[in-house]
Amino acid sequence: MLALALEAAWVVKIPVANMHSRPSEEAEVVSQALYGVTVSVLEEVPGWVRARTPDDYSGWISRDSLAARHEGPYAASGRVALVTSLFANVYREPDIRRRRPELTLPFETRLEVIEESPTEDRWVRVRLVDGREAWVQRGDISLEERPLAVEETLALARRFLGLPYLWGGTSAFGFDCSGFMQMLARRRGVLMPRDSLPQSRWEGSEPVAPQDLRPGDFLYFGDSPEKVNHTGMYLGGGEFIHATSQGRPMVQISRLDEPPWSERLVGCRRLKVASGK
């Protein structure tokens, strides 16, 4: 039944919601959805919904991870705060000492802004998914969202060095390889597919010869172009950054001329965006 979809917009209400291959906590995590993301409900069973995220990816999300919003999607219009720190604490009042944070939200979370107080330069008042008012520190957010240039994207990627690798991960709590690359492309202003194989064939990018690589290009690895199972971003000087479980499971920098990457590079692509942007 699709009663959920007919009654309200359904929005993720926890910092990061796992998306499973089946309606079970024991099933494989295939992706994640961040706080405040509105999902399309495709199917419902007791305790679970099969949902589609804005990147056209579907999986089973625990019903307890979602909130109904009869007023429509969250942070879809009006003034929006984008979390630009790796993590941002959200408080019940503009004070970091009196109470513990209400939520700790990852990079790229979007929050509805209620007020930018002229007397509170440090704080911005926001509305949470459930309608409660809360406060976030201005230093953790940006109120002006714009696509990043290549050099800005490379600098952003390096901020995640050392963060843990997480299968199915799409947040600063843990990325997998394609989730990390999808996030970096999103900060460039484009929405690419979720998984590495469709990313490697995506029409929003174009093939590049290895000898013509430029910083910011996307790299794809596997047994063949038809069996891509890993991706990263070229930094220049033969180095690339990626989220990998190889060796130390974390976001790290590796070299293209070292194994196993030297034997497994099967594709290079460049986003079709304006030069230098």
| Tokens describing residue 260 | 């196993």
Q: Give 83-87's long-range contacts (Cβ < 8 A, gap of 24+).
A: 83/107, 83/108, 83/109, 83/110, 83/111, 83/136, 83/140, 83/141, 84/140, 84/141, 84/142, 85/139, 85/140, 85/141, 86/159, 86/160, 86/163, 86/172, 87/172
177 is catalytic: yes
Give 3-state DSSP helix, strand, coil % of the chain, rounded to 5. Answer: 15, 40, 45
Total residue length of the chain: 277
Among residues 20, 70, 177, 268, the one annotated as catalytic is 177
230 is catalytic: yes
Cβ(182)–Cβ(192) below 8 Å: yes
| Tokens describing residue 61 | 């999300």
Residue the block writes with tokens 């492309």: 185
| Tokens describing residue 253 | 């920098």
3-class state of residue 99 by DSSP: coil
What residues act catalytically?
Answer: 177, 230, 242
